């Protein structure tokens, strides 16, 4: 009976006493040591413990044959030994490959940024999940022999490129550095203003000023310089994102103007955006306090609701409501006007179908105006001949007003018919109740 016992780690080879003729104080040579197996599996042959070993350059079948001869195994026991050892080695191999694949998947490649070196060579900077952006940039600079003082500029360039690919640089690590700005106050000693995700610039500068005991005017200049750096980078990131989205065929659904001092910043919202996430990213990018997120969300929702609401009806300076609005084009060759109806895509042309047209402001007929009055005022305002063009425009306005009145009458008739149809079941029910009451009265009279 052959029993195999595979341990979780290969057992050490049994220590053998080596007898040599060399003097006791002679230095030991590696070639004097016995060869060790690259794999050793402890097992039992019957009740005797034995070690199944595989040496370098030896295949599994040869090792099994040698082990079978040394322990006088029967052909059946030898075949069983080969199958069991092969199965266990396959299991070990699968476990190693699974661990290797799991380690490779643990850090997924997020971005591969091509960077052109001074020599003209293009080298890819690879960013993996969980990487800290500044650390990766510094490591890349060291590998490519880029001077340390060039790292901040390189950092900004990499951040712009990954932002253009639709990512926020702050996602690389929970404590990711967004800005690392070198500053000096005495012309010699360099200090670094480090801004991480969620940092408030004012608070970081206040802390640095206290540690370095800076004067108020120096602190103010430092704050102004850092804010300008942050704002310029944020505007560049906004522009890069808008350009990337436009190249992908995406246009913002809403563009909300956010005031910051004398500056106006565009908060762009695209299809599929989550409002809270978009506002939070905007706040982090432009260096606002996180407390501004609820206020900006409230303002953004108000702007969206206003944009969704129906536009205000057009009125003139006297408050009269516009009832007809028509597009007007001018024949540049024959110097005659043509008016085209805006309603239902229909229109009239003053001179058939002129070859070349110049678009003019629309002509509007307000309540209380006659078509002739509106046409004359329009011609005088736009340098057209009232006697030649005026009657044509007045006729088109009259047709537009008639179409409007017909549409209003049709809508009113449809609404009246709908209301009448909704009252018919009630009349039928009343008639049924009246007939039922008459029947009961007849039965009572008969009784």
Q: What pLDDT, in 10s, does the model give residues 291-339?
A: 788 888 888 888 888 777 656 677 887 888 888 888 787 665 544 444 4
Q: What is the pLDDT of residue 46?
A: 78
Distance CA 392, CA 68 (A): 114
CA distance 348 to 362: 14
51-60, 301-310, 337-346, range with the lowest pLDDT: 337-346
Question: Residues 153-166: what's their mean pLDDT?
Answer: 72
Task: Round to whole Å and give the CA distance between 400 and 394.
Answer: 10
End-to-end alpha carbon distance in the chain: 112
What is the pLDDT confidence band of residue 391, given thresholds at 50, 70 and 90?
Answer: very high
CA 6 – CA 44 distance, rounded (Å): 10
pTM over 0.75: no
Q: pLDDT class for 2, splitting at 50, 70, 90?
A: very low
> pLDDT at position 192, please?
84
The answer on pLDDT for 199 being more than 80 is no
- Over residues 230-256, the mean pLDDT reads 80
pLDDT of residue 330: 66
- Spatial neighbors of 288 by CB under 8 A, at least 6 apart, are 260, 282, 296
* CA pair distance 385, 160, nearest whole angstrom: 58
The pLDDT of 141-146, averaged and rounded, is 86
List all residues 6 or more positions away from 174 whose beta carbon is below 8 Å from its beta carbon. Answer: 197
Q: How confident is the model at residue 176 (pLDDT cuts 50, 70, 90)?
A: low
User: Collapsing DSSP states into helix, strand and coil, what is residue 126?
Assistant: strand
- Cα separation, 154 vs 356, in Å, equals 55
For residue 152, pLDDT over 50 is answered with yes
Once rounded to an integer, what is the mean pLDDT over residues 345-370? 66
- Give the helix ranges, DSSP H, for 13-74: 60-70
pLDDT over 90 (residue 51): no
Question: Does residue 188 or residue 165 have the better pLDDT?
Answer: 188
Contact 122, 115 (CB under 8 A): yes
- Distance (Å) of CA 16 to CA 19, 22, 58, 62: 10, 17, 22, 23
Tokens of 291: 């407390």
**Separation CA 114–CA 364 (nearest Å):** 57
């Amino acid at each position: 009976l052959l029993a195999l016992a595979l341990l979780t780690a290969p057992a050490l080879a049994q220590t053998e006493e080596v007898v040599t003729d060399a003097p006791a104080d002679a230095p030991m040579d590696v070639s004097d040591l016995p060869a060790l197996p690259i794999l050793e599996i402890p097992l039992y042959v019957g009740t005797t413990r034995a070690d199944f070993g595989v040496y370098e350059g030896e295949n599994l079948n040869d090792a099994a044959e040698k082990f079978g001869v040394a322990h006088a195994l029967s052909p059946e026991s030898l075949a069983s030994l080969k199958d069991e050892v092969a199965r266990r080695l396959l299991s070990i191999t699968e476990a190693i490959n699974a661990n290797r694949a799991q380690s490779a998947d643990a850090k997924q490649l997020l971005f591969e940024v091509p960077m052109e070196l001074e020599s003209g060579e293009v080298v890819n900077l690879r960013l993996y999940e969980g990487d800290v952006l500044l650390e990766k940039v510094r490591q890349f600079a060291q590998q490519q022999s880029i001077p340390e003082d060039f790292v901040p500029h390189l950092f900004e360039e990499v951040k712009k490129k990954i932002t253009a690919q639709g990512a926020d640089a702050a996602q690389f690590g929970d404590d990711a550095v967004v800005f690392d700005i070198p500053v000096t106050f005495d012309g010699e000693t360099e200090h670094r203003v480090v801004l991480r995700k969620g940092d408030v610039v004012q608070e970081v500068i206040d802390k640095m000023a206290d540690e370095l005991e800076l004067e108020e005017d120096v602190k103010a200049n430092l704050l102004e310089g850092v804010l300008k750096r942050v704002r310029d980078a944020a505007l560049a990131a906004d522009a890069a994102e808008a350009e990337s989205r436009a190249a992908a065929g995406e246009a913002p659904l809403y563009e909300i103007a956010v005031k910051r001092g004398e500056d106006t910043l565009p908060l762009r919202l695209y299809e599929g955006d989550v409002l809270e996430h978009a506002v939070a990213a905007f706040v982090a990018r432009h260096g606002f306090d996180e407390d501004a997120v609820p206020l900006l969300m409230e303002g953004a929702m108000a702007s969206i609701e206003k944009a969704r609401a129906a536009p205000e009806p057009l009125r003139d300076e006297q408050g009269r409501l516009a009832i007809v609005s028509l597009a007007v084009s001018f024949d540049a060759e024959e110097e005659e006007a043509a008016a085209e109806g805006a309603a239902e895509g229909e229109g009239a042309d003053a001179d058939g179908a002129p070859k070349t047209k110049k678009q003019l402001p629309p002509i509007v007929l307000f309540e209380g105006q006659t078509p002739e009055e509106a046409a004359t005022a329009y011609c005088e305002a736009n340098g057209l001949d009232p006697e030649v063009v005026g009657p044509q425009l007045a006729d088109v306005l009259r047709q537009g007003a008639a179409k409007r009145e017909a549409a209003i009458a049709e809508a009113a008739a449809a609404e009246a018919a709908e209301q009448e149809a909704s009252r018919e079941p009630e009349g039928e029910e009343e008639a049924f109740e009246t007939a039922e009451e008459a029947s009961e009265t007849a039965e009572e009279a008969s009784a």
